[in-house]
Amino acid sequence: MIALSIAGYDPSGGAGILNDIKTFQAMGIYGTGVITVLTAQNPNKVEFIEPVSTDFIEKQLETLLEAYPIQYCKTGMLYNIDNLKLIGNQIKKHKLTMVVDPVMVAGCGADLSVEGYTNALKKYILPNATLTTPNVFEAELISGQTIESVDDAIDAAMKIGKICDVVITGGHLKGSNVIFNGTLSIVKNELLGNEEVHGTGCSFSAAVTAGLIRNYDLKKSVEDAAEFVKTGVEHGKWGTLDQFHGKGSC
């Protein structure tokens, strides 16, 4: 089983494509990657962003797909509108099943997308996706409404769900992950402290992708992903085979 991450490069390994690959490996999935953006960052700041050319992104993708029978991909930081257009077209061309982590702002507050990104995301990427996994801030931008409670998140999820299936992650909802894929469900998980941990959104989205690759339904994939992230935060380590205690995904 093979997955593809299309995302930015975080040299600290805490987020982005390195995190995705480690998460896939921990979930028993072989990970491949296409880099969209180079960054100079650590868990506390983003110092510099250098977009990769669309020609080189396309070449990376085409070269991988020549060699590997990839069916599922997970996107992360795409950064600009040209990348959104390219990836959207390539997903359709190669008939890939896509899970979208709509990365827009880093946990430290740095912008990870250009002006107009949200509208372009809704136009070029989300209609081609099978699932998107926004946090509350990202869900507010995509849905166009404020989210201050689980009920608000439900309303937002139903709006986003008109474009593709959605999981609004529970880090800012007291651990309640709101799922809408034609029907509504909520998966609750325990929060460990109040501080945001660098890369948890990437890990969650990649872990959900791994569950879908294994043909688990969306709710089980979310339950497993939430447990995976919780265990990683609890033990302070990512991408090791012993961080995830069974749950049918290893």
**Is 62's pLDDT higher than 60?**
yes
Q: Of 249 and 229, which is predicted with more confidence?
A: 229
Q: Of 195 and 78, which is predicted with more confidence?
A: 78
Show the tokens assigned to 102: 């709509």
65-114 tens-digit pLDDT: 999 999 999 999 999 999 999 999 999 999 999 999 998 876 655 667 88
Mean pLDDT for the stretch of residues 189-200: 63
State residue 238's pLDDT score: 43
Q: Confidence class of residue 122 from pLDDT cuts 50, 70 and 90?
A: very high
Inter-CA distances, 91 with 6, 7, 8, 40, Å: 11, 14, 18, 28
143-189 tens-digit pLDDT: 999 999 999 999 999 999 999 999 998 776 777 899 999 999 999 87
State residue 130's pLDDT score: 95
% of the chain exceeding 90 in pLDDT = 70
Whole-angstrom distance, CA of residue 170 vs CA of residue 174? 6
CB 15 within 8 A of CB 7: no
What's the distance, CA 190 to chain centroid? 20
State residue 248's pLDDT score: 31
Whether residue 160 lies inside any domain: the answer is no
Whether residue 187 lies inside any domain: the answer is no
Mean pLDDT for the stretch of residues 229-236: 73
% of the chain exceeding 70 in pLDDT = 86
Whether residue 18 lies inside any domain: the answer is yes
Mean pLDDT for the stretch of residues 44-56: 92
Whether residue 182 lies inside any domain: the answer is no
What's the distance, CA 215 to chain centroid? 18
Whether residue 249 lies inside any domain: the answer is no
State residue 45's pLDDT score: 86
- Count of structural domains, the chain: 1
| Domain CATH number, residue 60 | 3.40.1190.20
Which domain, by its residues, includes 43?
2-135+202-235
Whether residue 54 lies inside any domain: the answer is yes
